[in-house]
Structure 1
Amino acid sequence: MSNWFGIKIAGPSNGSTEGPTFQELWRYRYQKSIHLLERYRSASAKYRHLKQIKKKIGNRPLIAIILSEQMGDIIACEPIAREVRQRHPDGYIIWVVREPFAELVKYNPNLDEYLVEKCPGERVQLLQSGIYDKVYNMHISHRKCKYCPEDPINPTADAIGLTFDNYYHRGDLLYIFSQAAGLPAMTAEPKMYILESVRQKIAGLQLPAGPIVIHCQSSHILRDWPADNWNKLVRWLIATYPYPIIEVGLAPTVTEPNPQFRSLCGQLSLLETAEVIRQARLFIGIDSGPAHMANATGVDAILLLGKLFDFVDYLPYSGRYKRGEGVTILNDFGHPCAELPYAWVQDAVQQRLGQPKLV
Structure 2
Amino acid sequence: MTLARERLAAFGNAMLGLPRQLPQLALRSIKPNRALIEWCKETIASGHLPVVLCRIERLGDIVATTAVAGHLRQTHGPRARIAWVCAAEYVSLLAGNPDIDAVFVEPCLTTWMMVRRHLAPQTLIVELFLDSDRCCWTGLRVKQHKTGWSIHNYYCGGNSLLAAYSAAAGCPVPDLPPQLPRFTRQRAARLPAPAAAKPRVAVHFSSRDPARSWPIENARTFCHAALAAGCELIELGNERLVSAQPNPVACLPQGSEIASHVEALATVDCFVGVDSGFAHCANALEVPALVLLGAFRNFSGYFPYSGPHARGPLWRCLRSEGSLAQLTPGNVSAALLQLLAAGRLWEQGRGADYRAAVATDAPEHQPPFTQAVAKS
Q: TM-score range by the shorter chain?
A: 0.7 to 0.9
Alpha-carbon displacement from aligned partner over 1:212-236 (angstroms, at most 9, x marks no partner): 1111222222211111111111111
Q: What is the deviation of 1:121?
A: 2.0
1:344 aligns with 331
Residue-by-residue CA offset, 1:1-22 (whole Å, 9 max, x unaligned): xxxxxxxxxxxxxxxxxxx9xx
Give the deviation of 1:150 after TM superposition. Answer: 5.6
Q: How does 1:246-257 map to 2 (within 5 A)?
A: 246-255=234-243, 256-257=245-246
Structure 2 residues without counterparts, runs of 5 or longer: 1-11, 192-196, 343-376
1:41-52 counterparts in 2 under 5 A? 41-43=30-32, 45-46=34-35, 48-50=37-39
Q: CA deviation at 1:292?
A: 0.8
CA distance in 2, matches of 1:83, 1:147: 31
Answering whether residue 107 of structure 2 is matched by residue 118 of structure 1, we say yes
What's the TM-score, normalizing by structure 1?
Answer: 0.78
Aligned residue identity for 1:128: R
Q: Distance in 2 between matches of 1:195 and 1:236?
A: 30
What does 1:182-197 correspond to in 2, within 5 Å? Answer: 182-194=170-182
Q: Shift of the alpha carbon at 1:266?
A: 3.1
- Given the alignment, which residue of 213, 216, 233 partners 1:227? 216
**Counterpart residue number, 1:282:** 270
Alignment of 1:3-22 (within 5 A): none
Distance in structure 1 (CA, Å) of the matches to 2:144 and 2:314:
35
**Aligned position for 1:297:** 285
1:311 counterpart letter in structure 2: F
Paired residue type of 1:179: A
Q: Within the alignment, does 1:94 sit opposite 2:83 as a pair?
A: yes
Deviation at 1:143, TM superposition (A): 2.5
**1:171-206 Cα deviation digits (max 9, x unpaired):** 00111122222223420111212269977xx99xxx
Whole-Å separation in 2 of the counterparts to 1:246 and 1:30: 37
Q: CA deviation at 1:315?
A: 0.7
1:1-359 matched pairs, under 5 angstroms: 31=20, 33-43=22-32, 45-46=34-35, 48-50=37-39, 53-54=42-43, 57-88=45-76, 89-131=78-120, 133-145=123-135, 151-153=141-143, 155=145, 158-159=146-147, 161-170=148-157, 171-194=159-182, 210-240=199-229, 242-255=230-243, 256-259=245-248, 261-264=249-252, 266=254, 268-320=256-308, 322-333=310-321, 335-354=322-341
> Which segment drifts farther, 112-121 or 322-331?
322-331
Alignment CA distance shift 1:73-1:350 (3 Å): same
Aligned partners of 2:182 and 2:265: how far apart in 1?
A: 12
Consecutive unaligned residues in structure 1, runs of 5 or more: 1-19
Q: Shift in Å at residue 346 of structure 1?
A: 2.0
Q: Distance in 2 between matches of 1:319 and 1:100?
A: 25
Q: Is the 8 A contact 1:178 1:186 kept in 2?
A: no
* Post-superposition offset of 1:343: 2.5
Tell me how large the CA RMSD over aligned residues is: 3.2
Cα displacement (A) at 1:153: 1.2
Look up the match of 1:7: none
How big is the shift at 1:166? 0.7
SS, match of residue 194 in structure 1:
helix
Say whether the 8 Å CA contact 1:251–1:265 is kept in structure 2: no
Moved over 4 A (4+): 27-33, 146-150, 195-199
- Mapped to 2, the partners of 1:146 and 1:100 lie a distance apart of 15
| Amino acid in the other structure paired with 2:135 | C
Computing the radius of gyration over CA atoms, which structure comes out larger, 1 or 2? 1
**Partner secondary structure for residue 129 of structure 1:** coil
Alpha carbons of structure 1 residues 38 and 149: separation in structure 2 relative to 1, 3 Å: farther
Distance 2:214 2:266 in 1: 23
Contact 2:184 2:285 in 1 (8 A): no
Once the two structures are superposed, what CA deviation does each residue of 1:90-118 show, in whole Å capped at 9, x if it has no partner? Answer: 22211011122122213212111111113
Equivalenced residue count is 320
* Greater CA drift, 323-332 or 59-68: 323-332
1:5 match: none
> Percent identity of the aligned residues?
26
| Counterpart Cα distance in 1 of 2:265 and 2:144 | 34
- Note closer, same or farther for the CA distance 1:348–1:150 as it changes in structure 2 (3 Å cut): closer
Report how far residue 140 of structure 1 moved.
Answer: 1.1
Q: Residues 28 and 86 from structure 1, CA distance in 2 versus in 1: closer, same or farther, beyond 3 angstroms?
A: closer
Amino acid paired to 2:155: Y
Equivalent residue number for residue 351 of structure 2: none
2:279 & 2:17 partners in 1: Cα distance?
A: 36
Q: Find the aligned partners of 2:266 and 2:57 in 1 and give their Cα distance.
A: 23
Q: Deviations over 1:124-156 (max 9, x none)?
A: 23333342521222111242336659632164x
